């Protein structure tokens, strides 16, 4: 088996967030492949083999990846619209637009949202997706595929709406599916997306 390639992060402030709240004012982290191999205070150990990248983290904080437990990826495509509205009016203004989302749009929105979070240190996230206009493709697969391609840890929470403007809500009726018609897709439908071939 080929030796794992190493990445070394040095000279940064290290917050391990372990059970003892261990921190180092200046330290290192060694990654072997996609796993943390070692960390500690001061410079990285001398003589490390198969180092393919060194990152100078001077002036930066190194922490475990952040976790975002609630997001709506699809809303990324309407960022900048209705920004002067309060929450209710913002929803009233944007739900008619969201009622026209389709699979390519949701995939692009998920990519944008995930990239934005990754740049901010988020490595694990959950998307609460609840707008499923009829006839617009497999929106769940679009989101899952974007997360797979971006390489983040991810959970999709499928929501639903059973109220619309007719029931004095701000949401349009068209993208709302009555709860009695909702049924989760078979898990096998997404196995090829979520499971690497080597693990099947």
Pair 85, 13 in one domain: no
1 belongs to a structural domain: no
SS3 of 104, please?
helix
Number of structural domains (the chain) is 2
State the pairing for strand pair 51-56/66-68: unpaired
44 belongs to a structural domain: yes
Residue 168: what pLDDT? 47
Pair 77, 49 in one domain: no
Q: In the listed set 46, 64, 82, which residue is the last one of a domain according to the structure? A: 64
If we measure between CA atoms, which residue out of 191, 133, 132 comes closest to residue 159? Answer: 132
Residue 87: what pLDDT? 87
Pair 92, 178 in one domain: yes
d(CA 191, CA 98): 28
Q: What is the CATH number of the domain that holds 35?
A: 2.30.40.10
Pair 59, 71 in one domain: no
- For the chain (200 residues), the mean pLDDT of every run of 10, in chain order, is 87 95 96 92 93 96 93 94 92 90 96 94 92 90 92 84 55 49 48 46
At residue 125's C-alpha, the angle toward residues 121 and 129, to 5°, is 140
- Structural domain for 98, as ranges: 67-199
Given a contact cutoff of 8 angstroms between Cβ atoms, the answer to whether 101 and 159 are in contact is no
Pair 28, 81 in one domain: no
CB count within 10 Å of CB 99 equals 16
DSSP 121-183: TEEEEEEEE----TTS--HHHHHHHHHHHHT-EEEEEE------GGGT-SS-STT---GGG--
CB count within 10 Å of CB 172 equals 19
Q: What is the CATH number of the domain that holds 151?
A: 3.20.20.140
């Amino acid at each position: 088996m080929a030796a794992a390639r190493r990445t070394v992060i040095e000279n940064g402030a290290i917050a391990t967030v372990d059970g003892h709240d261990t921190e180092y004012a200046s330290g290192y982290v060694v990654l072997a492949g996609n796993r943390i191999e070692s960390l500690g205070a001061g410079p990285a150990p001398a003589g490390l083999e198969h180092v393919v990248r060194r990152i100078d983290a001077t002036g930066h904080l190194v922490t475990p990846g952040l976790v975002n437990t609630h997001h709506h990826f699809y809303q990324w495509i309407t960022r900048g619209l209705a920004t002067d509205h309060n929450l209710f009016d913002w929803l009233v203004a944007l739900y008619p637009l969201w009622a026209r989302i389709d699979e390519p749009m949701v995939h692009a929105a998920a990519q944008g949202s995930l990239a934005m979070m990754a740049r901010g240190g988020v490595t694990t996230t959950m998307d609460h997706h609840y707008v499923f206009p009829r006839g617009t493709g497999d929106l769940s697969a679009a989101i899952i595929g974007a997360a797979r391609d971006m390489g983040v840890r991810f959970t999709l929470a499928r929501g639903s709406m059973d109220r619309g403007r007719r029931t004095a809500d701000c949401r349009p009726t068209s993208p709302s599916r009555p709860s009695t018609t909702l049924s989760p897709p078979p898990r096998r439908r997404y196995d090829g997306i979520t499971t690497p071939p080597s693990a099947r």
